[in-house]
Structures are given as structure tokens and as C-alpha cells.
Amino acid sequence: MDRDKIRSTIADIIENDLGVRHQDLNDEITLRDGLGLDSVDIVSVISQVERQFKIRLSQADLEQISTVGQVLDLIVSRTSDHFKSEAA
């Protein structure tokens, strides 16, 4: 899946959830300080990401993400794994 499309989807999820549009979701922006998400916001956004992209993230996955880029990397990895397993 295209990384820019994923980024746009994440921006839409954040806007729908929090009512704030973040135009420039570059890879270095942190979820907490850069986007102003608290723990509840992060859980909500990640839950929606899981539904939207039909993936499941473990607690270990969640503990490793703190930036938009890390979220994107994880989604790209998981969606490509998902498509590989469907093709097999």
C-alpha cells in the first residue's frame, strides 16, 4: 500500500476523532508532543487504524511507536504481510 495514502488516511482518522486537521504529518512528528495526543487518543486512533487497514497490532508494537513515521512503517509492514499471506 502506498505510504502517502496511508498518511492521508491517518490524517483523516485523527481529524474525525479529534476534530483537528494536521496538514503536514511528516515522519518525525511525535504522536504525543507533535500531535498533542494523550494515551486515550492514541488508543482510539490505533484502534481505528487497525479496523481501517484490517491489521492487528500487539502491545509490543504499540510500545515501539512514538512518531508518525513509525506508525507508517508498521502499517506498511503489516499490510504487505497481510497481502502476502492472502496470496499464498
Partners of 67 in beta bridges: 30
Topology (CATH level 3) of domain 3-87: 1.10.1200
Alpha-carbon distance of 52 to 57, in angstroms, equals 13
pLDDT of residue 88: 46
pLDDT of 23 reads 76
Residue ranges for the chain with pLDDT beneath 70:
81-88
Helices and strands (DSSP H and E) totals, the chain: 4, 0
pLDDT for 81 equals: 61
Residue 51 confidence (pLDDT) = 95
What per-residue confidence (pLDDT) applies to 82?
A: 52
